[in-house]
């Protein structure tokens, strides 16, 4: 049975992670060795197979970084499978209604907090190995595995009171790009755009009052971006993605070195 540490870290300081689109376990290992707190492993926008996800989760566990898996939609089976393969938390995109918020909790939490099905022979249970206790496993999972719905649509803000009334949520991930697009505003990751900033501030009021996490991307991943987000109540910071950061490195090499030879 895995020890999950991210919740405890969040009580003491902001935590830092990076989205992984490539499905490359070596990148996740590197994040762990460089002191990142979590790997945001994306199954929504990528073609990762179940095997790819498992390898990424194992790479995170190998280096002590917390694996968080973004599933494709609010679906109880997807959520359960991600947790059973060893994810420390699930990120659920495009949650718009109270019913979808309840699905997130039902799929992730064992009774009485949810309706997750039990199996003591899966990776998250340590395959039921020496010293395994089913009751301890259920309690540990309910207390330490994170349920993180995404607020990235105008409908989330329209329904925020009833959405945030659902018990069992551990954090909210604010997606500024898709939120802006849902309102037909083409600003992408500009958290200073008035409508985007207003939405984030409203979510922060709820997360602060409820004493749960608030996740958001620091784009660009700089000290200045982080300082702005932390001042607005964000304590789970996504420092770009592997592909975004690699893209920027390639742009710099091309612009600074290659272009003059073309």
How many Cβ atoms are within 10 Å of 104's Cβ, its own excluded? 26
- The predicted pLDDT at position 1 comes to 62
- The predicted pLDDT at position 143 comes to 96
Q: At a CB cut-off of 8 Å and minimum separation 6, what does 114 contact?
A: 105, 106, 107, 108, 142, 168
pTM of the model: 0.95
pLDDT above 90: percentage of residues in the chain:
94
**Token pair recorded at residue 256:** 């600074």
The number of CA neighbours under 13 Å toward the Cβ of 53 is 26
Query: How much is the average pLDDT of 151-160?
Result: 98
- Give the chain's domains with CATH numbers: 6-261 (3.20.20.60)
> Considering all CA atoms of the chain, what is the largest pairwise distance in Å, rounded to the nearest integer?
66
The DSSP code sequence of 168-226 is T--EEEE-HHHHHHHTT-TTTT-TTSHHHHHHHHHHHHHHHHHT-EEEEE-SS-SHHHH
Cα–Cα distance measured from residue 64 to residue 60, given in angstroms and rounded to the nearest whole number: 6
């Amino acid at each position: 049975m895995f020890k999950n540490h991210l919740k405890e870290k969040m009580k003491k300081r902001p935590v830092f992670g990076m989205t992984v689109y490539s499905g490359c376990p070596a990148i996740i290992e590197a994040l762990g060795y460089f002191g990142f707190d979590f790997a945001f492993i994306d199954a929504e926008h990528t073609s990762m197979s179940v095997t790819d996800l498992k390898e990424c989760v194992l790479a995170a566990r190998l280096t002590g970084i917390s694996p968080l898996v973004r599933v494709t939609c609010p679906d109880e089976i997807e959520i359960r499978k991600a947790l059973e393969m060893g994810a420390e938390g699930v990120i659920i995109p495009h949650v718009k209604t109270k019913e979808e918020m309840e699905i997130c909790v039902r799929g992730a939490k064992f009774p009485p907090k949810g309706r997750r099905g039990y199996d003591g022979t899966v990776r998250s249970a340590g395959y039921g190995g020496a010293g395994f206790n089913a009751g301890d496993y259920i309690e540990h999972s309910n207390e330490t595995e994170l349920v993180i719905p995404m607020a990235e649509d105008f409908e989330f803000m329209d329904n925020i009171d009833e959405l945030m009334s659902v018990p069992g949520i551990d954090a909210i991930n604010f997606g500024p790009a898709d939120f802006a697009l849902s309102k037909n505003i083409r600003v992408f990751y500009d958290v200073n755009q008035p409508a985007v900033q207003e939405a984030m501030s409203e979510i922060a009021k709820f997360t602060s009052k409820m004493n749960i996490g608030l996740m958001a991307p620091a784009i660009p991943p700089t000290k200045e971006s982080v300082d702005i987000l932390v001042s607005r109540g964000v304590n789970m910071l996504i420092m770009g993605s592997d592909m975004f950061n690699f893209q920027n490195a390639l742009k710099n090499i091309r612009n600074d070195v290659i272009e003059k030879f073309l």
